[in-house]
Amino acid sequence: MTKNGASAILRETTQSDSSKQVVEDTINLALSVMTMLKFGPVPGERSPCRHLHWREGSLNNSVEGHFVEKPVLTTDGIKLPRSFNAWSLETISGIGISFTDNLADHLLLVEDEKGMKVLIFHHISFLKFYKNAVFPEGLLQETVDTLALIFPNSEFGTVGGFVCRRRKWLEELWSRHRDQCIDTGTGTGERLQAEARRIEKSRFWRDRLVVLEQAYDDATPSSMSQWWHDRRNRVVWCTFWIAIFVLILGVIVGVVQSVLGGIQVGES
């Protein structure tokens, strides 16, 4: 169906003499609800976001045209380490985790006055059970795989009845975004497949994974907490904390010697 066809059906069904803009906004709102993609813009939206535009051709062609762009960034020498997940992105590299209801914004790295943050599409139930053929083949499953990469069950879920070590952090993250009605299925059931760490296998999200991984690699700790948790390079981590230990020990020894020296002078 074309955009003009949808507009004609809407007018006929509602028997309305609404303006062209009202019909346009109605179609955009309906498509946004149906596909979890923001078509628009639509007046009264709570916050600005990236929009898709359906101007001509079928809806399927419009959606496919947005997602099937050929990746342009090289993946040579890029490997996603096991430490690459939501917790390390936020705790080690300082890249905030923010959730989005717009599939087109998934894995988008943005920067504002508070710093960098990555947008994560969290509606995993939608990704698993949506049956409409409007999306390119493989897109929804690849998105599920990226969620398993960012929120691996081994770190954030429950295994054999035991709560994994990052589970509490994930629940706190959900709590910070409770106004968005987060799909808490994220990070609780998907097993991370080995293929998910091979960026070159990604068709739809490759460029954004490359950008995010490079931002993660380039980030340097800016606080003692980040230095403590940043164990991407064990040699650097050990060297840093040995130096800190030696420095503290030297200060303590110096203070003790000064105190003992003062006592000896007082006694003499």
Are 99 and 210 in a shared domain? yes
DSSP state of 136: P
On whether residue 22 sits in a domain, the answer given is yes
Token reading at 42: 């639509």
Same domain, 96 and 211: yes
> Which has the closest alpha carbon to 91: 236, 227, 220, 226?
226
Nearest to 120 by CA among 209, 34, 199, 40: 209
With respect to residue 17, please indicate whether it lies within any of the assigned structural domains: yes
Any residues with CB less than 8 A from the CB of 8 and at least 6 apart, and which? none
- Structurally, how many domains does the chain consist of? 3
242 lies in a domain?
A: yes
Same domain for 196 and 240: no
d(CA 231, CA 77): 20
Predicted pLDDT of residue 11: 63
Q: Give the three-state DSSP class for 119.
A: strand
Contact 84, 216 (CB under 8 A): yes
Burial of 80 per CB tally in 10 Å (0-12, 13-18, 19+): middle
- Which residues partner with 58 through β-bridges? 2
pLDDT of residue 253: 84
Structural domain of 242: 233-263
Asked if 177 and 213 count as a contact pair (C-beta separation under 8 A), the reply is no
For residue 86, the model assigns a pLDDT of 92
Residue 134 lies in a domain: yes
Query: Which of these three, 33, 60, 87, is where a domain ends?
Result: 60
Rounded CA gap, 4 and 59, in Å? 11
Same domain? 186 vs 257: no
Residue 170 and residue 137: Cα distance in Å, rounded? 30
Q: Does a structural domain hold residue 228?
A: no
User: What was the pLDDT predicted at 34?
Assistant: 87
- Same domain as 50, residue 160: no
Residues 86 and 217 in one domain: yes
Q: Are residues 111 and 216 in the same domain?
A: yes
pLDDT for 117: 94
Q: Which of 60, 77, 93 is the last residue of a domain?
A: 60
At 47, list the tokens: 């916050």
Does residue 268 sit within a domain? Answer: no
Q: Classify residue 18: in a domain, yes or no.
A: yes
DSSP state for residue 50 in the 8-state scheme: -
Structure tokens at 200: 């070159």
Query: Do 207 and 78 contact (CB within 8 A), yes or no?
Result: no
Q: What is the residue-level pLDDT of the chain in tens, covering all 268 positions?
A: 666 666 666 666 665 556 677 777 788 888 888 899 988 776 666 555 677 878 777 888 888 888 888 888 888 878 888 889 999 999 888 899 999 999 999 999 998 888 899 999 999 999 998 887 889 999 999 999 999 999 988 888 776 656 677 888 898 999 999 888 899 888 765 667 666 678 888 889 999 999 999 998 887 766 667 666 666 666 665 776 677 778 888 888 888 888 877 777 766 6
Does 111 share its domain with 214? yes
Q: Which long-range contacts (CB under 8 A, 24 or more apart) does 154-157 make?
A: 154/192, 155/85, 155/87, 155/187, 156/85, 156/86, 156/87, 156/187, 156/188, 157/187, 157/188, 157/189
Residues 80 and 212 both lie in one domain? yes
Please work out, in degrees rounded to the nearest 5, the angle formed at the alpha carbon of residue 57 by the alpha carbons of 124 and 38: 35
For residues 81 and 213, membership in a common domain is answered with yes
pTM above 0.85, yes or no: no
227 belongs to a structural domain: no
- Are 130 and 183 contained in the same domain? yes
Which parts of 170-264 are beta strand (E)? none
Same domain, 91 and 203: yes
Q: What integer pLDDT is reported at residue 187 of this predicted model?
A: 72
Give 39's DSSP letter. Answer: B
